[in-house]
Amino acid sequence: MERLQKVMAHAGIASRRKAEQMILDGKVRVNGKTVKELGVKVTPSDKIEVEGVQMEKERKVYFLLYKPRGVISAVSDDKNRKVVTDFFPNVEERIYPVGRLDYDTSGLLLLTNDGEFANSLTHPKFEIDKTYVARLKGIPTKEDLQKLERGIKLEDGMTAPAKVKLLSADTKAAKAIVQITIHEGRNRQVRRMFEAIGFPVQKLSREQFAFLTLHSLNAGESRELSPHEVKQLRVLADTGKRR
Ligand code: URA
């Protein structure tokens, strides 16, 4: 539910102030009834007419961003730090991130103004795979990594089985690079999983979300998803629903 004047402003009718005046002037109808007061809230299914013309809904848009480290996965920040929507200065639609990456995590993040799409991709029951690459302090053994593959107890419960692969190990520097795929999305989950087996994460990047990769993007760059990719993601979420 959003205020009528805000919805009008986002649809490009007029500024919020002007939209308020149009409401007071009796120029706006909601579901066939003229609205003359300012407190009215509407849902996406309400039919809004302005001066007798039905308002067009905001078009749905879908973006993939290579989020750099040091950026908040939000649309605004009270401490004025950089937020992910700062990378879309020319996008008029009210996009927001699908789930989140930590401030100090880089990698693949989707943004959209399609609430249903965002919900279906973030809900754990849809089991969308997300692949991360972590640089660890220390070198875990096969047995250490098997604990994550089986599922490990964190303070908010057991994790689901993960796919884990040691990509490289530097014995001199005592560091390892490990790839991990999970389908849950708890707060700081990957960092907490490695912490739980005694190998703190020094650097973390999300390399893949479902079938999407960062291919050919640099940190801070983004691209629009193709209609086919959007459809494929919907199909994946629907398949998850039926499991
Ligand atoms: N797991 C983490 O620990 N951090 C992220 O940003 C994402 C997953």
Domain ranges of the chain: 2-54, 62-124+216-239, 129-209
Q: Residues near ligand 1 with C-beta < 6 Å? A: 101-102, 105, 188-191, 204
* Catalytic-residue membership of 102: yes
The yes or no reply on domain 62-124+216-239 and CATH 3.30.70.580 is: yes
| Residue type present at position 128 | I
Classified as helix, coil or strand, 238 is helix
pLDDT at 240: 65
**Contact residues for 26 (Cβ-Cβ < 8 A; gap 6+):** 34, 36
**Out of 3.30.70.1560, 3.30.1360.20, 3.40.50.2300, 2.60.40.420, which CATH number does the structure's domain 129-209 have?**
3.30.70.1560
Distance 122 CA to ligand 1 centre (A): 13
Whether domain 2-54 has CATH 3.10.290.10: yes
User: Closest Cα to atom 2, ligand 1: which residue?
Assistant: 188
Question: Which residue's CA is the closest to the ligand 1 atom numbered 3?
Answer: 188
88 Cα: distance to centroid of ligand 1 (angstroms): 23
Cα 235 to Cα 194: distance, rounded to the nearest angstrom = 32
Give the pLDDT confidence score for residue 27 in this predicted structure. Answer: 97
Per-residue pLDDT of the chain (243 residues; tens, 9 = 90+): 889 998 898 888 888 999 999 999 999 999 999 999 999 999 888 999 999 999 987 789 999 999 999 999 999 999 999 999 999 998 888 899 999 999 999 999 999 999 989 998 988 788 899 999 999 999 999 999 999 999 999 999 999 999 999 999 999 999 999 999 999 989 999 999 999 999 999 999 999 999 999 999 999 999 999 999 999 999 988 776 555
Which ligand 1 atom sits nearest the alpha carbon of residue 130? 8
β-bridge pairing 105-112 and 201-209: parallel
Specify the pLDDT at position 107: 98
Structure confidence at residue 54 (pLDDT): 93
Atom index in ligand 1 nearest the CA of residue 192 equals 3
Q: Do domains 62-124+216-239 and 129-209 have the same CATH topology?
A: yes
Q: Which of 77, 102, 129, 144 is catalytic?
A: 102
Long-range contacts, stretch 59-62, CB < 8 angstroms, 24+ apart: 59/93, 60/93, 60/112, 60/113, 60/114, 60/117, 61/91, 61/93, 61/95, 61/112, 61/113, 61/114, 61/224, 62/110, 62/111, 62/112, 62/114, 62/117, 62/224, 62/225, 62/229, 62/230
Please report the atom of ligand 1 found closest to the CA of residue 206.
7
Q: Report which protein residue has its CA nearest ligand 1's atom 4.
A: 188
Q: Which two tokens stand for residue 217?
A: 């993007």
User: How close is the Cα of 238 to the center of ligand 1, in Å?
Assistant: 24
- Counting ligand 1 atoms within 8 A of each CB, the residue from 69, 71, 102 with the most, and so the one to mutate, is 102
pTM: 0.83
E runs forming strands in the chain: 2-3, 28-30, 33-34, 41-42, 48-50, 53-54, 62-67, 96-97, 105-112, 130-137, 153-154, 157-158, 163-170, 175-182, 201-209, 212-213, 222-224
pLDDT score at 93: 86
pLDDT of residue 50: 95
The pLDDT assigned to 164 comes to 98
